[in-house]
Structure 1
Amino acid sequence: MTSKKVIEVFYDVVSPYSWLGFEVMCRYRHVWNIELKLRPAFLGGIMQGAGNKPPGLVPNKFMYMMKDLTRLSEYFGVPLQKPSDPFEAMFQKGSLSAMRFVTAVQEREKGGDKQVEQVSRELWRRIWTEDKDITEPASLAEAAMKAGLSDSDIEEALKLYTSKDIKDKLKNTTQDALNHGAFGFPMVVCHVNGKPEMFFGSDRFELMAHCIGEKWLGPQPNKSAAKL
């Protein structure tokens, strides 16, 4: 029996491109022979650690990005919509609380990343589909409720996400991404034959498939299963 290739997806819900990469890898989890590991991290820490600048600081790049999201939404089948104030949503409010909350959900979840996947998706929906807040505890609780978590699960995650252990775990995951060479998200690390291969962005899947010996079937390999 051929062992599964381990693929890690480092992401932050403040990044719309991370949502695209996240959904594609979740869709390919049962198409390719892979073991998918979700690695919620903090994009702000990546940008600072790598010395990178947000696209919002380059006006032409930011304008292009906003237009590009419309095309990407249709192509990937992900309901991306521009927030009323995208600069505020992405750069002023930030995602530190949200990513600590996702980390807390992951810390207490046993037997896989199902809740992490669902909560992450609902947080992306809030900011990139519904134009809602992702920073306040009530916002995090609402996203978790829509993701199917019980009241007790949500209460535990809300108590846990401000703890030192969770803050340290998020920092460590962010540092892991930097150690792999991250300078932005999404970042996918494929472990094949004991060697890690890093891919940045949501436009490298065809190359990734080639490198890991799999076949790229487009962003929606199974459209019926890919509906959000």
Structure 2
Amino acid sequence: MGPLPRTVELFYDVLSPYSWLGFEILCRYKNIWNVHLQLRPSLIAGIMKSSGNKPPALVPSKGKYLTNDIKLLGQHVQVPIRIPKDFFSVILEKGSLSAMRFLTAVNMEHPEMLEKVSRELWMRVWSRDEDITEPGSILAAAEKAGMSTEGARALLEKISTPQVKNQLKETTEAACKYGVSHS
């Protein structure tokens, strides 16, 4: 029998294309690399605020680089990633708060579904240029991931509860304590 797997925590937000690429690589190779992957939905806006960093798209040279980099990395990792048409609206105005609260609720009550639901939310925003903020959009992602309509609706009703809000806040703060910053 080989060594016990090491735990790797992945703090992520479906608003981050780089998080999606890292997510897919870790999910793909976790068994080969002998790691226990612990998915930790967190809020990138909170991480940005805590670290004092601006989103890369707001720094002109980084924004230009990001567009080409994401395309090339997506091809290399074989992830169907595309920049949304209204990039600034998706990233800066709409955000991901409801989606990340939903993923937090999934993690709290149905952690076995977290990987699939996370992937479907990434597919919506970063592959098909679809919404991830409206309740119907979140339900569609959950159902496509294999959740029942009833189960997804029940979780969606919990995204405004103090338990879910506090858990997302605590996970985001834990990421910040590790020194996570998005640049």
How would you bin the TM-score normalised by the shorter chain?
Answer: over 0.9
Higher helix share: 2
Extract structure 1 runs of 4+ deviating beyond 2 A: none
Residues 26-75 of structure 1: CA distance to partner in whole angstroms, max 9, x if unpaired?
01111011111000100000000111111122112101111221111110
Tell me whether 121-130 or 60-69 shows the greater mean CA deviation. Answer: 60-69
AA matched with 2:47: I
Aligned residue in 2 for 1:207: none
CA offset at residue 159 of structure 1? 1.1
CA offset at residue 4 of structure 1? 1.5
Aligned residue in 2 for 1:59: 60
Residues 150-200 of structure 1: CA distance to partner in whole angstroms, max 9, x if unpaired?
122111111111111000000000000001001128xxxxxxxxxxxxxxx
SS in 1 for 2:128: coil
Alignment of 1:35-54 (within 5 A): 35-54=36-55
Equivalent-residue separation in structure 2 for 1:58 and 1:4 (angstroms):
39
Aligned-residue identity in percent: 47
Which runs of 5 or more structure 1 residues have no equivalent in the other structure?
Answer: 186-228
Aligned residue in 1 for 2:88: 87
Aligned residue in 2 for 1:172: 170
Aligned residue in 1 for 2:159: 161
TM-score normalised to structure 2 length = 0.96
Alignment of 1:1-228 (within 5 A): 1=1, 2-109=3-110, 113-184=111-182
Equivalent-residue separation in structure 1 for 2:106 and 2:12 (angstroms):
15
Which runs of 5 or more structure 2 residues have no equivalent in the other structure?
Answer: none
AA matched with 2:106: V
Equivalent-residue separation in structure 2 for 1:150 and 1:29 (angstroms):
27
* Alignment RMSD (CA, Å): 1.1
CA offset at residue 114 of structure 1? 3.2
AA matched with 1:136: E
AA matched with 1:162: S
Equivalent-residue separation in structure 2 for 1:4 and 1:15 (angstroms):
27
TM-score normalised to structure 1 length = 0.77
Question: What is the number of equivalent residue pairs in this alignment?
Answer: 182
Equivalent-residue separation in structure 1 for 2:102 and 2:17 (angstroms):
18
Q: Which has the larger radius of gyration?
A: 1
Equivalent-residue separation in structure 2 for 1:42 and 1:83 (angstroms):
20
